[in-house]
Chain A
Amino acid sequence: MKCVIFLLCALLANVVYSETVVDELEDAKLLVAKNVLNNYIVEGLNLTIKYTVHNIGSSPALNVKLQDENFPAEYFEYASGFSVAQWARIPPKSNVDHVVIVSPKMPGMFNLTSAVVTYLPSEKASKVQTGYSTELGEVYIQRLSDYNRRYASQTLNWILFIIIASPSILIPFFLWKSSTNKYQKSKKAKKSN
Chain B
Amino acid sequence: MSTKSGKPKNLTKEEESLLQDYSRDLSTKSSALFYGNAAIISAVPIWLYWKIHQMEPANNYIYFLLVTVVTTYLISFAYKNVKFVLKHKIFQNLDNVVQDEKDKKNDDRSLKKKNEIAEFEATTYSIFYNNSLFLFILMVASFILFKNFTPLFNYFLSMGLSAGLLALFSTSK
Interface presence of B48 (CB below 8 A) = yes
Interface presence of B171 (CB below 8 A) = no
Residue of A149, A158, A172, A186 most packed against chain B (CB within 10 A) = A172
Q: Contacting chain B: which of A38-46, A77-85, A160-168?
A: A160-168
Q: Contacting chain A: which of B13-21, B22-30, B121-129?
A: B121-129
* Docked-complex contact A176 and B121, CB < 8 angstroms: yes
Interface presence of B120 (CB below 8 A) = yes
* Docked-complex contact A173 and B128, CB < 8 angstroms: yes
- The CA of A148 and the CA of B52, in the complex, are separated in Å by 8
Interface presence of B157 (CB below 8 A) = no
Interface presence of B88 (CB below 8 A) = no
Knowing A168-B44, A169-B135, A190-B97, say if A176 contacts B53 (CB, 8 Å): no
Rounded to whole Å, the gap between the CB of A166 and the closest CB of chain B is 10
- The CA of A175 and the CA of B48, in the complex, are separated in Å by 27
* Docked-complex contact B47 and A180, CB < 8 angstroms: no
Interface presence of A69 (CB below 8 A) = no
Interface presence of B117 (CB below 8 A) = yes
Knowing A168-B37, A176-B124, say if A157 contacts B98 (CB, 8 Å): no
* Docked-complex contact A168 and B41, CB < 8 angstroms: yes
* Docked-complex contact B121 and A179, CB < 8 angstroms: yes
Per-residue interface assignment for chain B, residues 26 to 50, with 1 indicating a CB less than 8 Å from any chain A CB and 0 otherwise: 0000000000010011001001100
* Docked-complex contact B47 and A160, CB < 8 angstroms: yes
Report the contact-size class of chain A (Cβ under 8 Å from the partner): 20 to 34
* Docked-complex contact B40 and A168, CB < 8 angstroms: yes
- The CA of A149 and the CA of B149, in the complex, are separated in Å by 12
Interface presence of B94 (CB below 8 A) = yes
* Docked-complex contact B131 and A149, CB < 8 angstroms: no
Rounded to whole Å, the gap between the CB of A98 and the closest CB of chain B is 35
Interface presence of B105 (CB below 8 A) = no
A164 CB contact (under 8 Å) in B44, B98, B120, B121: B44
Knowing A149-B52, A149-B151, say if A172 contacts B124 (CB, 8 Å): yes
- The CA of A173 and the CA of B40, in the complex, are separated in Å by 16
Residues of B within 8 A of A176 (CB): 121, 124-125, 128
- The CA of A137 and the CA of B48, in the complex, are separated in Å by 37
* Docked-complex contact A186 and B121, CB < 8 angstroms: no
Knowing A165-B135, A169-B131, say if A157 contacts B125 (CB, 8 Å): no
Interface presence of A18 (CB below 8 A) = no
In the complex, which residue of chain B has the Cβ closest to the Cβ of A175?
B124
- 8 CB < 8 A contacts A-B: A149-B53, A157-B51, A164-B44, A165-B135, A168-B37, A172-B124, A187-B95, A190-B96
Q: Which residues of A contact B (CB under 8 A)?
A: 145-146, 148-149, 154, 157-158, 160-161, 164-165, 168-169, 172-173, 175-176, 179-180, 183, 186-187, 190
Question: 11 other contacts beyond A168-B44, A190-B96, with CB at 8 A cut-off?
Answer: A146-B54, A157-B51, A158-B52, A160-B51, A161-B51, A168-B40, A168-B41, A172-B37, A172-B127, A183-B97, A190-B97
